[in-house]
Amino acid sequence: MNAPRLSEFIKAYDVRGLVPQQLNDAVAFAIGSAFAQVVARPDGATSIVVGHDMRESSPGLSRSFAAGVAAHGLDVTLIGLCSTDGLYYASGALDVPGAMFTASHNPAQYNGIKLCRSGARPVGQDTGLAQIRDLAQALLDSDETAGVSGDTSAPETGAAAADATGVDTAVEVSGAGVPAGNISERDILGDYAQFLRGLVDLGELRPLTVVVDAGNGMGGHTVPAVLGTQAGLPALPLTVIPLYFELDGTFPNHEANPLNPENLRDLQAAVIAHGADLGLAFDGDADRCFVVDERGEPVSPSAITALVGTREAAKERAAGREARIVYNVISSAAVPEIIGEAGATGIRTRVGHSFIKGEMARVQAVFGGEHSAHYYFRDFWFADTGMLAAMHVLAALGEQSRPLSELVAEFSRYVASGEINSTVADAAAATAEVRAWAQAWGREAAQAVDFDELDGMTVTHQGDPMWWFNLRASNTEPLLRLNVEASDEPTMARVRDEVLSIVRGEKMTEEIQPAASAPVAPSAASDETAPRIEPWLREILRCPQCRSTLVDGSGPAGPELHCTNTECRLAYRIADGIPVLLVDESRTLTN
């Protein structure tokens, strides 16, 4: 039987594949062996830490990975069930490399691995993941992982640990001939909870009621420890109303992806029903956190970035240090404005966690935030932690008397389109046409228009009314991604429609061209009767059938989202502004 092709599911930042067709015990062992040789040993590490989420396949895969590492003489600490930021905590606190087995919110048949160096430093395509992939592939192709069984019995140490997983410790790899490392267990949940509480004091807040939707993911494991008393910590002035805290990797209630509006409905209803002060939603591995206010309305991640950024900036300035906050090119223009008003320096970077983490480390920024609800903290080894961001929101709310909707209003200044994807035949040519249009607009209006290419092309008009947009190509698909923001809704809509009319001209693929209409957003008349998706949530949506990106389209009943995968070709209706991402209720696009 041929070994799986690792290049098909080891991508830019992590491993994510189908179990067992792609990711199985032999593959996990091979990746563990390669991780030891490419990262751990060259970095001088003598041990690593491994954690996993609630998926049925996670314990066995994590033990096979551990056996692959131990075969090279490295000790392995298995911390068992944890969130991804719990693994980052262990890597940072123990100063060892780490591996987290999770596929976040992907369906149950998937699993994956997130890898880091000591101090929770990320391992990506350019920092070791490509070499790990190639070495693991060579091991698989040479049959050096034959016999791995993925036994999930209690851990043993040394050679016995390798033998317990069915691994022949005498395989001809670079670690052969060295004593196998020890594999042991350790529970770090209490230490993780105590560490986070030491960063944000929640003990003196006014009493708050918070609904938390864990989506059957790892938030159900961490929230009771951090915000409750499960880890033996003192009670906080919080009444936590749990939704879906039962750990279940089949996600029986809804997908654990809080940036899909469909997955927020239960949280929004519960916040209103309980008269709660706010709601929190975590994704499957609990590294992202999404916030809704007391009215059940979503709070933009850019507003959370600005809110947390001002708190971290104040702390830095109080300590006599210059405060630096990192944000990406599609964050709201309000973010750098508010950060500057708080006396901090805003630093703009490319989209993607490897870029924001790298820039934070380079400039020693105290905080970084992304539009995708990833929040990064210097005091958490520059890693992302949704739990710490949630604690900042709770603290900001509980330290004053206003409701959350009023508190965050000051951090939400502009109107945004959210990310809109368009399939194009030639991204560079479409971008050049948009540039020419923006230059001509500036000449005709006799107003300055600025261009930069930090990540794609950003065009900014600082006049009245203010507007800007970013157009950048996908690295993996024939897509252009558009984000527009402006001082008001009409200006945002005008700029959005002008750019889309260029991008989606004759280059737009037939299956996503709106029927019998120009390739622009719906007219003002149709907008009034066809509610659109919350715009800043749009970019995270994926086809539930094939996981490809979705783009705006039209159908017999009105606005739709269309899958960009020509092998899938499914269309999903939008009902009352909510996309109905159910395969059973989709239709197939025709030629």
Per-residue pLDDT reduced to its tens digit, 37-58: 999 999 999 999 999 999 999 9
Cis peptide bond prior to 465, omega within 30° of 0: yes
> For residue 512, is pLDDT > 50?
no
Average the pLDDT over 499-528 and give the result. 45
DSSP assignment string, 469-533: EEEEE-SSSSEEEEEEEESSHHHHHHHHHHHHHHHTSTTS-GGGSPTTS-SSSPPHHHHHHSPPP
Per residue in 98-131, pLDDT tens?
999 999 988 899 999 999 999 999 999 889 999 9
Multiple choice CATH, 6-187, 3.40.120.10, 3.90.230.10, 2.40.10.340, 3.20.20.70: 3.40.120.10
Average the pLDDT over 507-520 and give the result. 29
- What was the pLDDT predicted at 162? 37
Average the pLDDT over 366-389 and give the result. 96
The residue that leads in pLDDT, 583 or 130, is 130
> For residue 6, is pLDDT > 70?
yes
Backbone angles phi, psi at 235, to 5 degrees: -65, 145
Min mean pLDDT across 24-28, 35-39, 353-357 is at 353-357
Per the CB < 8 A criterion, the answer to whether 28 and 149 are in contact is no
Model confidence band, residue 587 (pLDDT cutoffs 50, 70, 90): confident
Model confidence band, residue 173 (pLDDT cutoffs 50, 70, 90): very low
Per residue in 249-286, pLDDT tens?
999 999 999 988 899 999 999 999 999 999 999 999 99
Model confidence band, residue 158 (pLDDT cutoffs 50, 70, 90): very low
How far, in Å, CA of 198 to CA of 40, rounded? 30
Model confidence band, residue 541 (pLDDT cutoffs 50, 70, 90): confident
> For residue 224, is pLDDT > 90?
yes
- What was the pLDDT predicted at 519? 27
The superfamily in CATH containing domain 415-588 is Alpha-D-phosphohexomutase, C-terminal domain (3.30.310.50)
How far, in Å, CA of 134 to CA of 33, rounded? 12
How far, in Å, CA of 523 to CA of 19, rounded? 45
DSSP-assigned beta bridge partners for residue 280:
212, 291
Model confidence band, residue 539 (pLDDT cutoffs 50, 70, 90): low
Strand 367-369: give its sheet, edge to edge: 345-349, 324-328, 367-369, 375-377, 383-384
Average the pLDDT over 282-291 and give the result. 96
542: DSSP letter: B
CB atoms within 10 A of CB 79: 24
- What was the pLDDT predicted at 145? 66
Model confidence band, residue 561 (pLDDT cutoffs 50, 70, 90): confident
The residue that leads in pLDDT, 100 or 564, is 100
- What was the pLDDT predicted at 562? 84
Q: Which amino acid is at 531?
A: P
- What was the pLDDT predicted at 174? 45
> For residue 164, is pLDDT > 80?
no
Catalytic residue at 548? no
Report the SS3 class of residue 72.
Answer: coil
Place of tokens 């708080």: 342
Q: Give the residue extent of every domain in the chain.
A: 6-187, 188-411, 415-588
Q: Report the chain's mean pLDDT, rounded to a whole number.
A: 88
Model confidence band, residue 207 (pLDDT cutoffs 50, 70, 90): very high
In the chain, % of residues over pLDDT 70: 87
> For residue 198, is pLDDT > 90?
yes
Cα three-residue angle 485-487-491, rounded to 5 degrees: 75
- What was the pLDDT predicted at 171? 34
Of the residues 104, 118, 331, 548, which is catalytic? 104
CATH 3.40.50.40 correct for 188-411: no
> For residue 526, is pLDDT > 70?
no
Buried-state track 12-28, b at ≥16 Cβ within 10 A, e below 16:
ebbbbbbbbebbbbbbb
Model confidence band, residue 515 (pLDDT cutoffs 50, 70, 90): very low
- What was the pLDDT predicted at 299? 96
Cis peptide bond prior to 4, omega within 30° of 0: no
Per residue in 406-450, pLDDT tens?
999 999 999 999 889 999 989 999 999 999 999 999 999 899 999
Q: For residue 531, count CB atoms less than 10 angstroms from its CB and return exposed for 0-12, middle for 13-18, buried for 19 or more.
A: middle
- What was the pLDDT predicted at 548? 73
Report the SS3 class of residue 293.
Answer: coil
Q: pTM to 2 decimals? A: 0.81
Min mean pLDDT across 21-35, 339-353, 443-457, 519-533 is at 519-533
Model confidence band, residue 585 (pLDDT cutoffs 50, 70, 90): confident
Place of tokens 């380079």: 362
How far, in Å, CA of 502 to CA of 430, rounded? 7
- What was the pLDDT predicted at 146? 61
> For residue 511, is pLDDT > 60?
no
For the stretch 119-122, contacts whose Cβ atoms lie closer than 8 Å and that sit 24 or more positions apart, written own/partner, are 119/91, 119/92, 119/95, 119/381, 120/88, 120/89, 120/91, 120/92, 120/380, 120/381, 120/382, 120/383, 121/357, 121/361, 121/381, 121/382, 122/13, 122/353, 122/354, 122/357
- What was the pLDDT predicted at 176? 54
188-411 matches 6-187 in CATH topology? yes
- What was the pLDDT predicted at 514? 27
